[in-house]
């Protein structure tokens, strides 16, 4: 046969799937970072905030394992403990992590500026709002209540413990699509502040938007970002944009407040027959 006929979705976007920490709440994504530092400290191994942040976005146990495998951390662990960090050590640190994280989560639950306005715009466009996170179900229950008190209630929430594997695997996004009864995946856009957020969306066959400034890539409070000098800010911003673009993000913007205009662009690309 000389010709193959191919079906292409040309309709508009139908849903957005938002990350939590660093995307809609917890400007700078601090809540997990400070607890990762604490659980390693309790083992006698000091880690830096940069090391604590490196695997951000993953299931929290996967994240602890990933920190333990950073060469500098692995070497420090070996020197201090006289043996490598084992799976039992990772499990013990995760068990210590859970109550510590639950204790301080509410302190980091304020919404990132622009979240409510962006969500109002998504709803006006007729989009459903889903969400994914590396937090466990127990943590998410607490965070969802805090978010609701602040006026943010997504239509669907799936966390890393609800699926066989968290990011960068696509399962949380696919589970959201199922909950929201939305298809095809080309009609959904993923928004998040970490590289695994981007990979998760791409692996699910979705459009992806990276948020460079309000989350893990900057790792600063809103006040700290505002206090940066122009050159330092530009340098950090360029670095974050580059890392997210390299991971394959379709778009990178500063914060959730910048997402809405991109939805028009994605709709135009879909209408022209383009796929993510
Ligand atoms: Mg995040």
Question: Is the pLDDT at 121 greater than 90, yes or no?
Answer: yes
Question: In this predicted model, what pLDDT tens digit does every residue of 83-101 receive, in sequence order?
Answer: 999 999 999 999 999 999 9
Measured in angstroms, how far is the CA atom of residue 188 from the centroid of ligand 1?
18
**What pLDDT is stored for residue 110 in this prediction?**
97
Cα gap 119→122, rounded to integer Å:
5
Measured in angstroms, how far is the CA atom of residue 21 from the centroid of ligand 1?
4
Which residue in 180, 187, 62, 204 sits closest to 131, CA to CA? 180
Handedness of CA 136, 162, 24, 117 (dihedral sign): negative
Q: Are 255 and 114 in contact (CB under 8 A)?
A: yes
What residues are annotated to the active site? 19, 60
Measured in angstroms, how far is the CA atom of residue 30 from the centroid of ligand 1?
10
- The neighbour count for residue 80, using CB atoms within 10 Å, is 12
**Residues written for the chain:** 276
Q: What percent of the chain has pLDDT over 70?
A: 100
pLDDT (mean) for 160-182: 97
Class at the top of the CATH hierarchy for domain 15-30+109-271: alpha beta
Quickly list DSSP for 132-144.
EESS-HHHHHHHH
Measured in angstroms, how far is the CA atom of residue 208 from the centroid of ligand 1?
14
Task: Indicate the burial class of 230 (C-beta count within 10 angstroms; 0-12, 13-18, 19 or more).
Answer: exposed
**What pLDDT is stored for residue 50 in this prediction?**
93
DSSP 9: -
Quickly list DSSP for 54-69.
TTTTS-HHHHHHHHHT
In the three-class reduction of DSSP (H, G, I as helix; E, B as strand; rest coil), residue 254 is classed as coil
H or E element: which one contains 268? helix 260-271
Question: In this predicted model, what pLDDT tens digit does every residue of 184-206 receive, in sequence order?
Answer: 999 999 999 999 999 999 999 99
**What pLDDT is stored for residue 176 in this prediction?**
98
In the three-class reduction of DSSP (H, G, I as helix; E, B as strand; rest coil), residue 251 is classed as strand
pLDDT band at 80 (very low <50, low <70, confident <90, very high): very high
**What pLDDT is stored for residue 182 in this prediction?**
98
CA distances from 158 to 73, 80, 137, 179, 258 (A): 31, 38, 8, 9, 24
Q: Are 21 and 133 in contact (CB under 8 A)?
A: yes
Measured in angstroms, how far is the CA atom of residue 73 from the centroid of ligand 1?
23
**What pLDDT is stored for residue 1 in this prediction?**
79
Question: In this predicted model, what pLDDT tens digit does every residue of 137-158 receive, in sequence order?
Answer: 999 999 999 999 999 999 999 9
Measured in angstroms, how far is the CA atom of residue 217 from the centroid of ligand 1?
10
Measured in angstroms, how far is the CA atom of residue 203 from the centroid of ligand 1?
17
Measured in angstroms, how far is the CA atom of residue 270 from the centroid of ligand 1?
27
Question: In this predicted model, what pLDDT tens digit does every residue of 251-273 receive, in sequence order?
Answer: 999 999 999 999 999 999 999 99
**What pLDDT is stored for residue 120 in this prediction?**
98
Q: Are 58 and 166 in contact (CB under 8 A)?
A: yes
Question: In this predicted model, what pLDDT tens digit does every residue of 106-118 receive, in sequence order?
Answer: 999 999 999 999 9
Which residue in 149, 150, 203, 151 sits closest to 17, CA to CA? 203
**What pLDDT is stored for residue 225 in this prediction?**
97
Rounded to the nearest 5 percent, the helix, strand and coil shares of the chain are: 50, 10, 35
Class at the top of the CATH hierarchy for domain 31-107: mainly alpha
pLDDT (mean) for 43-62: 93
Domains of the chain, by residue range, sit at 15-30+109-271, 31-107
């Amino acid at each position: 046969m000389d010709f193959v006929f191919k079906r292409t979705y040309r309709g508009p976007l139908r849903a957005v799937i938002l990350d939590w920490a660093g995307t809609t709440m917890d400007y700078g994504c601090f809540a997990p970072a400070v607890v990762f530092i604490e659980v390693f400290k309790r083992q006698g191994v000091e880690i830096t905030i940069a090391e604590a942040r490196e695997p951000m976005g993953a299931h929290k146990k996967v994240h602890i394992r990933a920190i333990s495998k950073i060469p500098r951390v692995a070497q420090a662990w070996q020197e201090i403990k006289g043996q490598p960090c084992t799976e039992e050590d990772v499990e013990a640190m995760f068990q210590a992590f859970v109550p510590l994280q639950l204790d301080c989560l509410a302190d980091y639950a304020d919404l990132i500026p622009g979240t409510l306005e962006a969500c109002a715009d998504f709803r006006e466009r007729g989009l459903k709002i889903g969400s994914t996170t590396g937090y466990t179900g127990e943590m998410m229950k607490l965070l969802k209540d805090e978010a609701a008190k602040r006026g943010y209630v997504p239509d669907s929430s799936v966390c890393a413990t609800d699926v066989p594997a968290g990011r960068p695997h696509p399962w949380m996004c696919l589970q959201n699509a199922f909950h929201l009864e939305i298809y095809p995946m080309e009609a959904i856009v993923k928004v998040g502040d970490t590289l695994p957020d981007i990979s998760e969306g791409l692996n699910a066959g979705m459009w992806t938007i990276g948020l460079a400034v309000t989350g893990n890539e900057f790792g600063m409070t809103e006040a700290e970002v505002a206090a940066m000098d122009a050159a330092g800010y530009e340098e950090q911003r360029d670095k974050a944009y580059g890392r997210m673009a390299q991971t394959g993000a379709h778009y990178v913007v500063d914060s959730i407040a910048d997402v809405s205009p991109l939805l028009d662009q994605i709709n135009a690309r879909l209408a022209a027959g383009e796929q993510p």
